[in-house]
Amino acid sequence: MQTAHRESVFANRNFRLLFGGSTISAIGDQFTLVALPWLVLKLTGSPAALGVVLATMALPRAVFLLIGGAVVDRLSPRRVLLAARGCNAVLVGLLAVLVLLGDIQMGLVYAIALGIGLATAFAYPAGSAILPQLMAPEQLQPANALFMGMRQLSVFIGPALAGVVISLGARAAHPQGLQDAGGLGLAFSIDTISFMFSLAALLMVRIHSDLHPRAVSGSVLANVASGVRAIWADLPLRAFILYAAVVSVFVGGPLQVGMPVLADTRMDLGAASLGILISAQGGGMLLGSALSGVAGRFVRGRLGLMVLTIDSVVGLAVAALALVHSTGTGAVLLAGTGALGGIAQIAIVTWIQRRVAPEMMGRTMSVLMFTFMGLGPLSAAIAGVLLKLVSLPALFIGAGLLLTAIALGCMGSPALRSIGKTPAMEAG
C-alpha cells in the first residue's frame, strides 16, 4: 500500500496508472458498443442477426464469467486483465482492418464477437479485484466512486462521439456498398488504440499478488461452487440476484436490440441518434450516481422497496419509447431512466460490498455480473426474432409493462423488502 489515510487517492502511482489507462479504454469501448450493432444492421438489415451477434458475445461470457471470477481469486488480477485486454485489442483491431479493406463478412463478425465475449468474461472480474490490492482500506470508497463515475462519464461522452465518427464516414465508398464503412472502421480503430494505452498502463502497475501469489486451494470449479453456495445461503442476496436475473432476461434483451432499431428506423440522425440515446442514458446514470448518497439517507433500511419502486417507474418509461419518433424525446426518456438506474446501482453495490466477506467478493461480483452481462444479451437473440413477429412499439410496450408488473409483484417478497436492513432489523 502506498497511500496514507489522509492522502488523495491520486498520490498512489499505481492508482493513477490504472485509472488513466482504464479511463481511455472505457471511452474507446463505447466506440465498439455503438459501431458493432450498427455494422450488423448495415450488413444484414436484420434485427434478428443483431440479436444473434449479441448472443454470440454473451454465450461465452455467460459460461465463463463465473470461472473467470474464480481464476482471478487464484491468480493476479492484473495479469488476468492484461491478457484479456490484449486479446480484445487484437480482435477489435482485426475488425477495424476487415471493415476498412472491405473484406468483412457476417461469419467473421460472429467469430470475433465470440472471442470478445470470452475475453470479457475474464476482464470484468479481474478489473473489479485490482483496487483492494492497490489502496488502503479507508481509501477504497473514494477510489470506487471515482471509477464508477468515470465509467458513467465514458458512457455519456463516448457513444455520442462514436455516432459522429461513424456518421462522418457515411459517404465513404465501399466494395460491398456498406454504408458508413469509413466511419465504422475508424470507430473500431479508435477502440484498438485505446486498448494500447490501457495495456501500457497495466504493464507499469504492480499489485500485491504479483509478488506474493495466493495459496491455491481446491479446483476452479470447486471455488465457483463454494461461491454459489455462499450466495444461496444468504436469503436477501439470493432473492436480489434472482430478481435481477429475471429483469435482465425479460427486459435487457429488448432494450439492446430495440434501441439500435429505433435509431435506424424512426430517427433522422442515423448512427448519431443511437450515440445520443446511449449517451443520454449514461449521463443520467452519472447524475444518479451523484444523487445516490442523498437517496440512501432517505430510504434508511428500505433499499429493497426503493429499487422495486424505481424499476416499476423505469418500466413505464420503457413502454413510452413506443411513442418516440425524435432523438430529443428519446434522449430525455433514457436520461431519466439512467438517473433512476444510477441511484439503484450504487446503492445495491454498496450494500453487497458491506454484506459479503472480502474473500468471497470476487465470486459474488462475478455472479452479479453474470445476471446482467451474461443473461441480458442472450435474451437479445429472442428479442431480435420477436421483431419479425411483432412491431417495435409492441416490443417496447411488452418489455416495459412486464418490468413494471414484475417489480410491483415482488414488493410482496419479505426477502427483497429486507434488502438494506441491518442484521438486527432482519432478525426482527
Q: What is the DSSP secondary-structure string of 92-145?
A: HHHHHHHHHHT---HHHHHHHHHHHHHHHHHHHHHHHHHHHHHS-GGGHHHHHH
Residue (of 54, 74, 26) closest to 194 by Cα position: 26
What's the DSSP call for residue 356?
A: S
- Tell me phi and psi for residue 175, to 5 degrees: -55, -30
Q: Which amino acid is at 223?
A: N
Q: Which amino acid is at 258?
A: G
Q: Is-contact 267 327, C-beta < 8 A? A: yes
- Tell me what pLDDT residue 267 has: 79
Residue (of 345, 380, 370) closest to 124 by Cα position: 370
Q: How many CA atoms lie within 13 A of 194 on its CB side?
A: 22
List of residues 6+ apart from 428 with CB closer than 8 A: none
Give me 249's grid cell: 432476461
- Tell me what pLDDT residue 171 has: 52
C-alpha to C-alpha distance for 47 and 265, rounded to whole angstroms: 11
* Cα Dmax for the chain: 69
Per-residue pLDDT of the chain (428 residues; tens, 9 = 90+): 444 445 677 888 888 999 999 999 999 998 998 889 888 888 888 888 887 887 788 778 877 888 887 887 777 788 889 999 999 999 999 999 998 888 788 889 999 999 998 998 888 888 877 877 787 766 766 777 678 778 878 877 888 788 888 887 655 444 455 667 788 888 999 999 999 999 999 999 887 666 665 666 667 778 788 888 888 888 888 899 989 888 887 777 787 788 888 888 887 777 778 878 878 887 888 788 777 767 767 776 688 888 899 999 999 999 999 888 888 888 899 999 988 888 888 778 777 777 777 667 767 878 887 787 767 666 777 787 788 888 888 888 988 999 999 999 998 888 888 887 654 445 44
CATH superfamily, domain at 12-208+218-427:
MFS general substrate transporter like domains (1.20.1250.20)
Dihedral sign of CA atoms 414, 246, 354, 223 in order: positive
Domain boundaries, the chain: 12-208+218-427
- Tell me what pLDDT residue 52 has: 84
Residue (of 392, 221, 243) closest to 303 by Cα position: 243
C-alpha to C-alpha distance for 216 and 219, rounded to whole angstroms: 8
Q: Which amino acid is at 321?
A: L
- Tell me what pLDDT residue 196 has: 94
What b/e string do you get for 92-105 counting C-beta neighbours within 10 Å, with b at 16 or more?
A: bbbbbebbbeeebe
Q: Which amino acid is at 394?
A: A
Q: Is-contact 224 360, C-beta < 8 A? A: no
Q: Is-contact 150 23, C-beta < 8 A? A: yes
Q: What is the pTM of this model?
A: 0.68
Q: DSSP per residue over 241-307, as a string?
A: HHHHHHHIIIIIHHHHHHHHHHHHHH-SSTHHHHHHHHHHHHHHHHHHHHHHHHHHHHHSS-HHHHH
Grid cell 455467460 in the structure block, residue: 62
What's the DSSP call for residue 75?
A: S
C-alpha to C-alpha distance for 245 and 251, rounded to whole angstroms: 10
Give me 44's grid cell: 444484414
C-alpha to C-alpha distance for 125 and 244, rounded to whole angstroms: 18
Give me 192's grid cell: 484498438
Give me 181's grid cell: 464503412
C-alpha to C-alpha distance for 398 and 400, rounded to whole angstroms: 6
Distances 232 to 9, 65, 227, 235 between C-alpha atoms, Å? 35, 18, 9, 7
Coil, strand or helix at 205: coil
List of residues 6+ apart from 7 with CB closer than 8 A: 139
Give me 18's grid cell: 490504472
Dihedral sign of CA atoms 15, 21, 22, 24 in order: positive
C-alpha to C-alpha distance for 313 and 341, rounded to whole angstroms: 10
